[in-house]
């Protein structure tokens, strides 16, 4: 027993619109689909190199910070007297490993010591490295007291 509500549903389902002709896709429909795909892929192609470059820059900044902190700690451990008497190079120097061999990589460091008070030195370390369009740097500082 069909009610009028069931009859309406059956009637509505029988009148489906066909979005694809029974013969297949036309050339125009295929070309439109290809244009949409090409535009989408083009947008992705332009996005990924930027993200990769930002990731590489962040990784290099982290490496520079760790190298600079290590160098700053080595200088601080040298003590007040050694820092007060040492004259540092005016141009950035390469990093050295534990066997005093030059480390491979683009990073260079430069230190500066300033006497803040009679018993207090300010030690500044700057790490620089080149990047495609410009030179980047990270600056770190600490204080060393005589006591």
Q: What is the pLDDT of residues 14-72, one digit of tens each?
A: 555 555 556 666 888 888 999 999 999 888 877 777 777 888 889 999 999 999 999 99
The tally of domains found in the chain comes to 1
On whether residue 19 sits in a domain, the answer given is no
Task: Say how many C-beta atoms besides its own lie within 10 A of residue 68's C-beta.
Answer: 22
Q: What is the pLDDT of residue 132?
A: 67
Range of the domain at 120: 25-145
On whether residue 9 sits in a domain, the answer given is no
Task: Compute the half-sphere exposure of residue 53: CA atoms within 13 Å on the CB side of its CA.
Answer: 8
Q: What is the pTM of this model?
A: 0.63
On whether residue 46 sits in a domain, the answer given is yes
On whether residue 74 sits in a domain, the answer given is yes
On whether residue 5 sits in a domain, the answer given is no
On whether residue 10 sits in a domain, the answer given is no
On whether residue 130 sits in a domain, the answer given is yes
Comparing 50-54, 62-66, 93-97, 117-121, which segment has the lowest mean pLDDT?
50-54
User: Rounded to whole angstroms, how far apart are CA atoms 129 and 108?
Assistant: 6
On whether residue 11 sits in a domain, the answer given is no
Distances from the Cα of 101 to the Cα of 87, 104, 121, 139, angstroms = 21, 9, 28, 24
């Amino acid at each position: 027993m069909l009610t009028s509500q069931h009859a309406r549903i059956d009637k509505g389902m029988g009148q489906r619109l066909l979005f694809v002709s029974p013969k297949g896709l036309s050339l125009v429909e295929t070309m439109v689909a290809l244009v949409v795909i090409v535009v989408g892929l083009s947008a992705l192609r332009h996005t990924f190199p930027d993200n990769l470059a930002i990731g590489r820059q962040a990784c290099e900044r982290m490496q520079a910070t760790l190298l600079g902190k290590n160098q700053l700690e080595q200088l601080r451990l040298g003590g007040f007297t050694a820092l007060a008497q040492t004259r540092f190079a005016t141009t950035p120097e390469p990093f050295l490993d534990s066997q005093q061999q030059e480390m491979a990589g683009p990073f260079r460091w430069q230190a500066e010591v300033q006497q803040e008070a009679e018993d207090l030195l300010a030690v500044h370390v700057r790490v620089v490295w080149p990047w495609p369009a410009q030179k980047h740097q990270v600056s770190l500082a600490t204080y060393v007291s005589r006591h």
